Amino acid sequence: MRHEISILIIGLLAVLTTASIVAAILSARAPKPLSSTLVNLTQRINAWWVMVALMTVAFFFGRYGMTILFALISFAALREFVTLTHTRRSDHWVLLGMFGIIIPFQYWLVWTAWYGLFVIFIPVYCFLLMPAITALHGDTERFLERIAAQQWAVMISVYCVSHVPALLTLNVPGFEGRTLLLIAFLIIVVQGSDVLQYIFGKLFGKHRFSPNVSPSKTWEGLIGGLVSASLLGALLSFVTPFSPLQAAAVAFVACSMGFLGGLVASAIKRDQGVKDWGHLIEGHGGMMDRTDSLVFAAPVFFHIVRYFWTV
């Protein structure tokens, strides 16, 4: 696995260095004060340096690192999600349970590779028990809205996110001991697709995809991003159990889900009247702003690999 990791890290460093140099040249040439797009671009690239560094550190700690990192990502995402929703004083215990019980228990299931409970703990047991607790409190005001928001909060920020480290529990024949590379593949392809959609959208974007939901998403950005991300997937097939063609197809499905994730996240933000989920990552907004596409892609990617590549 050493060899593949070195290539991935060198590749990422080359991309980031190029991006930083391009941004520096653009900023040096542009009239002062810099436009908000340029300032934001530089902030985003700098944040990418930090995120890649954190991922690399977690990568070297293997299963421990990945499980802890994604549990923390779930925490930050859930915090942003719940902050945006309507809650009442009587929800206090349900909310505490979401942070104090559901997150640790779901990641413990990942850690122990207890697949049977991992896939149903949140969508079956939590979905039944959370509204039951709220009903026991006797506070029925805006009941359905409150429980729906809470269920979606744990679904997106805990259940879906936990599928990323869960990839480490898959047993792919001939790929033993290298499952960390599946995570690297998923993240690079999906986040790469986000960046590529952004670039294609900025360069060629004319036709809005869904002006009511997200004014920045265009057909040109979507198609250019998906095609180039699928190519990226094919190029990265050497770190996966997939053939180049399979890798391109898997990348295409994952990035399409990622696009839909971004769209859903935009719809939620629009409904709640905010522009960003939070302010955790300079230039990107909050954790959910950065992980919305990964969140939707992860379970689908997990199940594709599990269904077609494991025994």
Partner 1 sequence: MNKLSLKTFTLLQTVTSVGLSALAWMVTGVRPIWNGSLPSDRQRIYFANHTSHGDFILLSACLSEKERAITHAVAAGEYWGKSRLRRFIAQDMLSSVLINRQWTTPEENPIEIMLSVLDQGHSLILFPEGTRNMTEEPLLAFRSGLYNLSMARPQVELIPCWIENMSRVLPKGQFLPVPLLCRVVFGAPVAVGPGEERRAFLERAHATLLALNPRPERDD
| Tokens encoding 184 | 């690297």
Instruction: Tell whether residue 303 is a contact of partner 1 (CB under 8 A).
Output: no
Reduced to 3 states, what is the DSSP secondary structure of residue 110? helix
- Interface segment toward partner 1; rule CB under 8 A; list 82-90, 114-122, 187-195, 210-218: 82-90
Identity at 99, one-letter amino acid code: F
80/269 Cα distance (integer angstroms): 11
Instruction: Tell whether residue 104 is a contact of partner 1 (CB under 8 A).
Output: no
CB of 291 to partner 1, least distance (A): 16
Q: How many helices and strands (H and E) does the chain possess?
A: 13, 2
CB of 4 closer than 8 Å to CB of 181: yes
- Rule CB under 8 A: choose which of 75, 105, 107, 185 binds partner 1: 75
Percent helix, strand and coil across the chain, each to the nearest 5? 80, 5, 20
Instruction: Tell whether residue 23 is a contact of partner 1 (CB under 8 A).
Output: no
Work out the burial of residue 112: count CB atoms within 10 Å of its CB; fewer than 13 is exposed, 13-18 middle, 19 or more buried: exposed
- Rule CB under 8 A: choose which of 49, 99, 108, 115 binds partner 1: 99
Site string for partner 1, 141-160 (x = CB under 8 A): --------------------
Instruction: Tell whether residue 280 is a contact of partner 1 (CB under 8 A).
Output: yes
Instruction: Tell whether residue 284 is a contact of partner 1 (CB under 8 A).
Output: no
CB of 183 closer than 8 Å to CB of 66: yes
| Helix ranges, 205-286 (H) | 219-235, 244-272
How many chain residues are in contact with partner 1, going by CB under 8 A? 20
CA-based radius of gyration for the chain: 20
Instruction: Tell whether residue 105 is a contact of partner 1 (CB under 8 A).
Output: no
Instruction: Tell whether residue 95 is a contact of partner 1 (CB under 8 A).
Output: yes
Instruction: Tell whether residue 20 is a contact of partner 1 (CB under 8 A).
Output: no
- Rule CB under 8 A: choose which of 92, 124, 125, 243 binds partner 1: 92
Instruction: Tell whether residue 278 is a contact of partner 1 (CB under 8 A).
Output: yes
Q: Output 142 or 207, the one with its CB closest to partner 1.
A: 142
| Tokens encoding 61 | 């700690």
Instruction: Tell whether residue 273 is a contact of partner 1 (CB under 8 A).
Output: yes
CB of 111 to partner 1, least distance (A): 22
Q: Output 279 or 303, the one with its CB closest to partner 1.
A: 279
Instruction: Tell whether residue 43 is a contact of partner 1 (CB under 8 A).
Output: no
**What DSSP line would sit under 184-229, residue for residue?**
HHHHHHHHHHHHHHHHHHHHH--SEEETTTEEEEEHHHHHHHHHHH
Instruction: Tell whether residue 231 is a contact of partner 1 (CB under 8 A).
Output: no
Other CB atoms within 10 A of residue 173 CB = 9
- Interface segment toward partner 1; rule CB under 8 A; list 91-99, 109-117, 245-253, 301-309: 91-99
Identity at 272, one-letter amino acid code: Q
Instruction: Tell whether residue 87 is a contact of partner 1 (CB under 8 A).
Output: yes
28/18 Cα distance (integer angstroms): 15
Q: Output 92 or 207, the one with its CB closest to partner 1.
A: 92
Reduced to 3 states, what is the DSSP secondary structure of residue 215? strand
* Contact set with partner 1 (CB under 8 A): 75-76, 79-80, 82-83, 86-89, 92, 95-96, 99-100, 272-273, 278-280
